[in-house]
Amino acid sequence: MQEIINNIASPAWWFSAILIAILVNLVSAYAKPWTDKVLSHISTAWRNRTERDRQKFNAAVAILVQSPQSLAFAFEEEVRSRLRAIIFYLFVVIFLLFSIGLPTTPSASFERFSPYWLIVIGIKVATLLVFLFATMEHREAMRQSALLRMARRQLAEGSGVKRDG
């Protein structure tokens, strides 16, 4: 603590702090137009992508509203995606429980680079991959659910019947 106080009291520390502050200010003045340009391109691309996704979503909702059969198929697809996600999550839990039961240090009979370690690493990679698949299926189920909610809301507004969606 005394060393910090001594450093703050020294003129060399103050000179270097002021010099660094001036340098940072100069660098930021030159970097600001470049970063503004890059961020505006990212923002424009993000806005275009969001608008394109919104148009696709609205087109899908319009198809569901026009055809009761496609509405039923969309509901089945949502249920199927939810079930697949649940099954994948169950596999993740099984893999995690199985990998917890595996010893983390090799016994004297295991060599340093034995096939045992390949199996352990394979189980952990499989767990990660199955978790990613489960997350993708869950996301697809949520997308289907949003489509169905919007289509049901539009059908209820169009027919004058109020439904919870």
Q: Is the dihedral of CA 126, 132, 134, 136 positive or negative?
A: negative
Instruction: Report percent pLDDT > 70 for the chain.
Output: 88
Fill in the DSSP letter of residue 109.
T
Q: How many residues does the chain have?
A: 165
Measured between alpha carbons, how far apart are the two ends of the chain, in Å? Answer: 62
pTM exceeds 0.85, yes or no: no
pLDDT at 113: 60
Q: Is the pLDDT of residue 46 over 70?
A: yes
